[in-house]
Amino acid sequence: MPSNGERDAVAVLEGVRFGYSAGHPVLDGIDLAIRPGQFVALVGPNGSGKSTLLRLLLGLASPDAGQVRLFGHRPGDPADRGRVGYVPQRPNLGEGVAASVADLVSSGRLARLGWRRRPRAADRAAVDAALDAVGLGDHRDRRLRELSGGQQQRAFIARALAGEPELLVLDEPVAGVDVESQALFRRSLVHLQTLGGTVLLVSHELGAVADALDRVVVLKSHIRFDGPPAELAASGVSLGVHRDDLPVWLEGVR
Amino acid sequence: MIVASALGLLAGALPLPWPFEREYMQLALAAGLVVGACAPLIGVFLVQRRMSLLGDGIGHLAFAGVAGGVVAGVWPVWAALAVSTAGAFTIDRLRSRGKAQGDLALAVFFYGGIAAGVVLLGFADSLDQGVNAYLFGAILTVEPAEVAVVVALGALSAAAILVCRRALFATVVDEEWATVAGLPVDALNSVLAVLVAVVIVASMRVVGLLLVAALMVLPVATAQLLARTQRGLLVISGGVGISSVVVGLVCARLWDLAPGGTIVLVAVAVFVLSAAAGAVLSDSQIG
């Protein structure tokens, strides 16, 4: 079980309850602490509150009860600007947006830079590194709209990486993404982790990253499982590549 | 009004070739160039957010301001600036709170603006000639003082856009992401709304309130066909806006046409030609 209130925890949820309508909590009694350097997967069936938990963590929603702490502060505290990177679920690019891959990834640097300051050499280097990390180094000047779905998704991951976040939060980032993109995706997350970064990944498909995970949290309104992937495997669920035990097992979570 | 007279002298004194050899044409050119460059710069962010019609709506509100100014004896430019800035700010606040999501809430503002203008003008003794100048544009009769105001408002909005352009782009792509990234999303939205109001007031004598949003939207539509990057989008939009003004003024002088409408028709023509050329090119690539 997670030990709460740890001083060194990157993210802490304590006794969190949240519902979109009164009397019907999507999340209830959530206690979770994510420690620095961990690679954590958050899984659960549809409607189990995974995305809601992320929204609470990112400060896009406030809990009805309990406490959320990010780097020891309330989420969204200006003191922590740039420490969190976020890859939203199926980010949809408006048809009217005319921008290059580099435009999008550079905008990710604003999380560190703030809205006023001009990018310097170090910022451009961070953008280049993020593009290389997701294998888009050769596509920086292409129009975003010309990229495949998988490449676009990688560009959005690079946007988050460009801010050199201490905590990277990803919501279903590999849904419907091609195999090449999944492999690059795994590589970039592991790379971030080796630099000391913490990763929280919400996904239905853990196949591509299964062997890199430190911890799996299974959610369905409450936390149903929290431990190393091996322990989950011992209960008959395989997270390995090309296995679909997890979705099947999740549907049976009570 | 030292700046105004300096500008007037400067504009009248420049040895430009036909059709800009006369003072009134040089003043028109000065005001037109500023508006032609600035309106599309603001429009870039409206169009990408699918808020192209916001300019039209605020133009309607500005009409109420012009009418109020005429009735109250205040310079209509200041009155329009006050009303449209307040209106733009209010619309943006309502939008960000999810209370003006549909077109309906905005439509209430737009029609309310025009209707208030019409009623206010009923108090004036006659339908002032000046009101027509704001509704349909009268770039050939702008005075040095007006050009000075247009230049000042234009410089202010261009500078604001250049400073905020990266952050504005981030909010255009995804407001929620921008919030998580710690960008001041609400403030940026308010700044954009106020800039729309400022540029509309600067443009009303150039193309008229009825066409004021055209220069915010049409050059950007053309640039979207051609640009690969945000920088390219800004540069091409501004370039198309400036070219439309210059070509429009030349055509208007040549054939004695209404300049405001001519400028906008040139911008329409540039878009249609670019779209057609793009379609032919992509067809030939496929073939």
Q: Return the residue of A nearest to B51 by Cα.
A: A96
pTM to 2 decimal places = 0.90
Mutation to test the A interface, candidates B52, B163, B229, most A Cβ within 10 Å: B229
- Per residue in B231-281, pLDDT (tens digit) is 999 999 999 999 999 999 999 999 999 999 999 999 999 999 999 998 888
Quick one: tokens of B153? 């408002």
Residue B7: band (very low, low, confident or very high) from pLDDT cuts 50, 70, 90 = low
The strands making up A11-21's β-sheet, listed across from edge to edge, are: A24-34, A11-21, A65-70
In this prediction, what percent of chain A has a pLDDT beyond 70? 88
- Which chain B residues are closer than 8 Å to A91 by Cβ? 173-174, 177
CB nearest to B164's CB, from A84, A91, A115: A115
Would an 8 Å CB–CB cutoff place B180 in contact with chain A? yes
CA B84 distance to own-chain centroid: 12
**C-beta atoms of B172 and A111 within 8 A:** no
Whether B96 has its CB under 8 Å from any CB of chain A: the answer is no
What pLDDT does residue A2 have? 43
Averaged pLDDT for residues A54-80: 92
Written as one string, the DSSP assignment of A98-132 is: --BHHHHHHHHHHHHH-SSSPP-HHHHHHHHHHHH
Higher pLDDT pick, A182 / B105: A182
Alpha-carbon separation of residue A84 from A6, A41, B37 (angstroms): 19, 16, 38
- Cα separation, B96 vs B10, whole angstroms: 44
Q: Which residue of A has its CA nearest to B230?
A: A99
Interhelix angle B23-48/B259-286, rounded to 10 degrees, is: 50
Which alpha helices (H) appear in B100-143, and where do they start and end? Answer: 103-123, 129-136
DSSP for A211-239, please give it.
GG-SEEEEEESEEEEEE-HHHHHHTT---
Contacts of A94 in chain B (CB under 8 A): 48-50, 172-173
**Apex B197 CA angle, B123 and B210, nearest 5:** 60
Q: What residues 112-151 of chain A have any CB closer than 8 A to a CB of chain B?
A: 114-116, 119, 141-143
- The span from the CA of A132 to the CA of A152, in Å, is 14
Burial class (CB in 10 A: 0-12, 13-18, 19+), B126: exposed
Q: What is the pLDDT of residues B222-242, one digit of tens each?
A: 999 999 999 999 999 999 999
- Residue B109 has a pLDDT of 83
Q: Are A144 and A100 in contact (CB under 8 A)?
A: yes
pLDDT at A173: 80
Of B174, B179, B182, the CB nearest to A82: B182
Does A245 have pLDDT greater than 70? no
Are A100 and B166 a contacting pair at CB < 8 A?
A: no
Does the CB of B228 have a partner CB in chain A at under 8 Å?
yes
User: Which among A84, A100, A116 has CB closest to B180?
Assistant: A84
Q: Is the pLDDT of residue B132 over 90?
A: no
Q: Give contacts of B176 with chain A, Cβ < 8 Å.
A: 60, 88
Chain B environment of A58 (Cβ under 8 Å) = 180
Which pLDDT belongs to residue A21? 86
A-chain residues near B232 (CB < 8 A): 98
For A115, which of B183, B227, B228 is closest by C-beta distance?
B183
Task: For A217-227, write each residue's pLDDT tens digit.
Answer: 988 888 988 99
Partners of residue A107 in chain B, C-beta under 8 Å:
166, 169-170, 173
Res A1 pLDDT > 50: no
A53: its two tokens:
């938990």
Comparing alpha-carbon positions, the chain B residue that sits nearest to A93 is B173
Please, which pLDDT band fits residue A244 given cuts at 50, 70 and 90?
low
What is the distance between the alpha carbons of residues A198 and B155, in angstroms, rounded to a whole number? 45
- Of B211, B260, B194, give the one whose Cα is nearest residue B63: B211
Which of A33-37, A182-186, B88-92, B227-231 is the least confident region?
A182-186
Instruction: Provide the phi-psi class of A176: left if phi over 0, else alpha when psi is between -120 and 50, else beta.
Output: left
pLDDT band at A4 (very low <50, low <70, confident <90, very high): very low
Pair of tokens at residue A249: 């097992």
pLDDT at B210 over 60: yes
Interface of B with A in 115-174 (CB under 8 A): 163-164, 166-167, 169-170, 172-174
CA B156-B160-B165 angle, 5° bins: 150
**Is the minimum CB–CB distance between B190 and chain A shorter than 8 Å?**
no
- The minimum CA-CA distance between A234 and chain B, rounded to whole Å, is 37
Residues in chain A with CB shorter than 8 Å from the CB of B230 are: 98-100, 103
**Measured torsion, CA atoms of residues B240, B241, B244, B248, in degrees rounded to the nearest 10:** -170
Task: Name which residue leads in pLDDT, B285 or B131.
Answer: B131
- Residue A148 scores a pLDDT above 90: no
DSSP H/E element including B24 = helix B23-48
pLDDT of residue B141: 87
Tell me the mean pLDDT in the region B34-62. Answer: 91
Are A98 and B167 an interchain contact pair (Cβ–Cβ within 8 Å)?
no
Arithmetic mean of pLDDT, A38-49: 88
